[in-house]
Chain A
Amino acid sequence: MTPAEMVVTSLLLGLFVVLAGCYGVLFCVGRLRANRALLYAAYTAYGMQAAVAASLVLSSSLGEWWKLLVAASCAVYLPIPPATWRFLESLHQLKEQDS
């Protein structure tokens, strides 16, 4: 790994998680406000995250296992916001039933 590759790879890794955060926040706000544009923006953020993952897999000097880990974790990030959302909704429905 060259010095420049080291810096670019680490910044891409940071960007990968930042975009995951953007995806989560936009998804949640989009659902809260029932705003389709925000939901599209959320999936766009995820698409960008997947693009960053692809560039890490295809062009970085990371070892094969780490590339596999990045690709797998990119797939795992996709269901986290919808699953968390559904879980929170069901919890809050229980709260309403309780009260």
Chain B
Amino acid sequence: MYRSQQLALKYFTAAMVLFGIMVVAGLLASAQYVRDGFLLNVLDFSVNKTLHIDTMIIWLLMGFMGAIYWFLPIELERETEGIRLAEVMFWVFCAAVAVVAAVFIFVQYGPSNDTTLWLIMQGRKYVEAPRWAAAGITVVVLVFVYNVVFTAIKAKKITGILAVLLVDLVPLAGLYLIAFPSITNMSEDLYWWWWLVHLWVEATWEILIGCIMALALMQLLGTTRRIVETWLYIEVALVLGTGILGLGHHYFWIGTPSYWLGIGGFFSALEPLPLLGMVVHAVYDAGAHHMKTSNKPAFYWMMAEAFGNFLGGGVWGFMMTLPQINLFTHGTQWTVSHGHFAFWGAYACGVISVIYLALQKLRAAQEMNGQAWRWSFALLNIGLIGMVGALLVAGIAQAFFERAIGGSTLYAFIAAQSNEWFVQGITMRLVFGLVFAAGYAMLMYDLLSIGKRSLSGETLRTRATGSAA
């Protein structure tokens, strides 16, 4: 095994730990919705929410980096260039995340000055990390870019997937720099902030996961390079074609010119089209291989990615993307429902799939199967669908009573928060959150034991059959 792949396993481990913290913080925040005053002044809602969304970003990013460190030496048939530096950066990354989390929990906020921005928190959603940590993450990402670029140069080899990945690394690193400025004009600040949030998520990350899935498909189903690369080019063209200007749906109500209503609405409405193509592709692949694979969990999680992306991004997105609807739905639990479903479908399922692939090789398991992964797959997906369904009910109630009827006044906000539909939706979100947490626990058990279990079982069975014959 290459050192790069050992590093990948460390990234996967860190990602799964952060996934767990995300689940716990999410549960605490959802409990605080249900019970006023829960953990007040101990672990406030704002801290739990920040931890929940920031760990979500970081565990997915670590999962992506792990996946690239895993596949890169296979793709280029050599060790990753600058691997020692990459190993150091992994620990720097972990230390930075731990310190930032501790500061969020124990310090939380400071006076409105540069010291707070540099040492405590920047206060911008998703990129709350103080500047020193943001600088650290930038260095980590730059080293990651260096690893990939220089490994390709040293190998004197370029593949189609690698070419797409190399181009994608430029905005991946570059857009993160938007985490630094502190613009006092809110419209201006949000204008650029959405470049980071939307273009990372709906452009660079989509391409990154597309490259990772292309590499995974070759390993999982033995799909030829020609097929995955051709499909990757098409997917990149379609996703970028609709996703970049789809950014406009975030510009509807932040003080930008009104032409963004047309641009954002139009391109967002086109976003489900490539997702439908991906669903057809997934079903075709599943049928062409008769659902036969030596790594069932990886295969099912990959399928879940295609369907989850379509439902979470396509269906949930299209419900609320046209400006006339979005006027009422933006910033409600409806949006939260869409966010949960889309992130889960588009990215989380893909990362879990790749981890199962890596574990199969690590444990030299001929077959990855069993009962535990089925339970974790079912519990996580039922929990997630239950949560997004409950949030959708709460969001519809909010959009209906608070926005459309109440006209977004403070009184309407308070009234909607105590509306029966809203309360029941928020309560059910917590219930399904617990189901999701059970799925996470089962996933951890399975990741720690799958392959070891099936290998020994298979070996015993083979030996028994052999001796009987």
A interface residues with partner B (beta carbon < 8 Å): 1-3, 6-7, 9-11, 13-14, 16-18, 20-21, 24-25, 27-29, 32-33, 61-63, 65-66, 69-70, 73, 76-77, 80-81, 84-85, 88, 91-92, 94-95, 98
Contacts and interface: CB of A to CB of B under 8 A. Distances in A.
A5 B227 CA distance: 45
B185 to A, nearest CB: 30
Contacts of A3: 400, 404-405
Nearest to A27: B280
Given A21-B314, A28-B287, A10 B266 contact: no
B21 interface: no
Given A29-B283, A73-B270, A13 B319 contact: yes
A28 B283 contact: yes
Contact of B272 (A17, A33, A94): A17
Of listed B226, B265, B269, residue having the most chain A CB within 10 A: B269
Interface stretch (B32-40, B111-119, B322-330, B435-443): B322-330
Given A13-B325, A76-B273, A84 B280 contact: yes
A21 B276 contact: yes
The secondary-structure label for the interface of chain A is helix
B76 interface: no
Interface string B315-351: 1101110101100110000000000000000000000
A1 B324 contact: yes
Given A6-B324, A24-B276, A88-B281, 14 more contacts: A7-B396, A13-B319, A13-B322, A14-B315, A17-B272, A18-B315, A25-B279, A27-B280, A29-B283, A73-B273, A81-B276, A91-B230, A95-B224, A95-B226
21 contacts: A1-B404, A6-B325, A6-B328, A6-B399, A9-B324, A14-B316, A16-B318, A17-B318, A20-B276, A21-B314, A25-B279, A28-B284, A29-B283, A29-B287, A32-B287, A80-B277, A85-B284, A88-B281, A91-B227, A91-B231, A94-B227
Give the contact-size bracket for chain B. Answer: 35 or more
Given A7-B400, A21-B276, A69 B266 contact: yes
Interface in B364-397: 396
Contact of B224 (A10, A32, A81, A98): A98
Contact of B329 (A10, A16, A25, A98): A10
Nearest to A88: B284
B319 A62 contact: no
B288 interface: yes
Contacts of A29: 283, 287
A62 B321 CA distance: 12
Of listed A16, A32, A84, A94, residue having the most chain B CB within 10 A: A84
The secondary-structure label for the interface of chain B is helix
Nearest to B405: A3
Nearest to A5: B404
B110 interface: no
Interface of B: 224, 226-227, 230-231, 262, 265-266, 269-270, 272-273, 276-277, 279-281, 283-284, 287-288, 310-311, 314-316, 318-320, 322, 324-325, 328-329, 396, 399-400, 404-405
B280 A28 contact: yes
A2 B324 CA distance: 11
* Shortest 9 CB-CB contacts between residues of A and residues of B: A3-B404, A32-B287, A14-B319, A28-B283, A84-B280, A17-B315, A17-B318, A10-B325, A10-B319
Given A13-B318, A24-B276, A76-B273, A66 B265 contact: yes
B11 to A, nearest CB: 32
Contacts of B324: 1, 6, 9, 61-63, 66
A9 B325 contact: yes
A25 B285 CA distance: 12
B276 A80 contact: yes
A62 B226 contact: no
Contacts of B404: 1-3, 6
Contacts of A21: 276, 279, 310-311, 314-315
Nearest to A96: B224
Contacts of B265: 66, 69
Nearest to B231: A91
B303 to A, nearest CB: 11
Nearest to A19: B315
Contacts of B405: 3
Nearest to B262: A65
Contacts of A70: 269
A11 B319 contact: yes
A13 B266 CA distance: 14
Contact of B280 (A14, A80, A95): A80
Contacts of A85: 280, 284
A19 to B, nearest CB: 10
Contacts of B226: 91, 94-95, 98
A85 B282 CA distance: 11
Of listed B226, B272, B280, B314, residue having the most chain A CB within 10 A: B280
A84 B277 contact: yes
Nearest to B270: A73
Contact of A95 (B227, B281, B316): B227
Contacts of B230: 91
